[in-house]
Structure 1
Amino acid sequence: MQIRSYAPSDAEAVIALWQEAGLTRPWNDPAKDIERKASTQPELFLVGEDAGVVVGTAMVGYDGHRGWVHYLAVAPSQQGGGLGRALMAEAERLLIGLGCPKINLMVRTGNDRVIGFYEALGYGTDEVALLSKRLIPDA
């Protein structure tokens, strides 16, 4: 298993992984999300690879105040093998190296299995309301 930065040739495999892992939504075009990330801190877009096959991702960012992780995905056939933990450890290592004091991530309400995964890594729920506004529609 190798964790490395995303390469443009990974796009199709990354999108297929996100679809297989149930991360895509109709209002987010995954190709546009990849394009946006590739133009901003591309070194923080992580890919987990096993024998040349993309089996994991983590889209990491740092805005100077907080770090974020989006699109943490592990192929269902690889779940439980430590790749998710390894991707998060690498995300944390990179963010600490940038001086990031805190990392945030979002998990959809009701996704108790994934919430449990993050809790086992030491993450907790903050008492905040997430507000958002779409500035550029994908569709």
Structure 2
Amino acid sequence: MNISAAAQALSITAIEDAEIPEVIALWQRCGSTRPWNDPASDIALARQGTNSTVLLGRHDGALVASVLVGHDGHRGWVYYVTVDPDCRYAGFGRAIMNAAEEWLRARGIAKLQLMVRKENTKVHAFYQSIGYYNQETVTFAKWLDGREPTP
């Protein structure tokens, strides 16, 4: 299957309650979770209001891609952009990112930003291939609950 045909075959919907365990399993399979972030809590928080959601991509009924997308009223952000490792290089990453971009455009958000770990060079190349650029910024963080810094 070529990339455009695969992307067209991706059915994209917002997450439903029953899909949460399957999504968490995908995120874990893709290495997207971190011990200091509870994925179930992240999904619940994303679904609380109208400024964020989790979009799922299915191909032939199987969950193959996901993205947590949201905005702060000014900029859009994506997290947990995942494609099943057995389904990579089929256009699903591009398709799920296009869905996130459209979700933001529909809400009047003009800019999407995302963070990628410095050492994740394969993902850097993916985002560059779909039109993203490195803004050369430094990200500062602080845990508001008093935890020690995390990478």
The amino acid of 2:18's aligned partner reads S
Listed as ranges, the gaps of 5+ residues in structure 2 are 1-9
Counterpart CA distance in 2 for 1:53 and 1:136 is 38
Task: Give the equivalent residue in structure 2 for 1:133.
Answer: 142
Paired residue total: 138
Counterpart CA distance in 1 for 2:29 and 2:111 is 29
Listed as ranges, the gaps of 5+ residues in structure 1 are none
Task: Give the equivalent residue in structure 1 for 2:83.
Answer: 74
Structure 1's 82 and 137: CA in aligned 2 closer, same or farther, altered over 3 A?
Answer: farther
Which of 57, 62, 71 pairs up with 1:48? 57
**Does the 8 Å CA contact 1:44/1:91 hold for their aligned counterparts?**
no
Which of 18, 21, 28 pairs up with 1:19? 28
Residues 81-135 of structure 1 show CA distances to partners (whole Å, capped at 9, x for unaligned) of 1111001111111211211121100111110000000000110111211111222
Q: Which has the larger radius of gyration?
A: 2
What is the Cα deviation at residue 50 of structure 1? 2.2
Task: Give the equivalent residue in structure 1 for 2:130.
Answer: 121
The amino acid of 1:2's aligned partner reads S
Task: Give the equivalent residue in structure 1 for 2:94.
Answer: 85
Task: Give the equivalent residue in structure 1 for 2:39.
Answer: 30
**Does the 8 Å CA contact 1:10/1:54 hold for their aligned counterparts?**
no
Identity %, equivalent residues: 41
Structure 1's 120 and 27: CA in aligned 2 closer, same or farther, altered over 3 A?
Answer: same
**Does the 8 Å CA contact 2:46/2:52 hold for their aligned counterparts?**
no
Counterpart CA distance in 2 for 1:111 and 1:122 is 17
CA-based RMSD of the aligned residues comes to: 1.7
The amino acid of 2:119's aligned partner reads G
The amino acid of 1:27's aligned partner reads W
**Does the 8 Å CA contact 1:5/1:42 hold for their aligned counterparts?**
no
State the secondary structure of the residue aligned to 2:28: helix
State the secondary structure of the residue aligned to 1:90: helix
State the secondary structure of the residue aligned to 1:47: strand
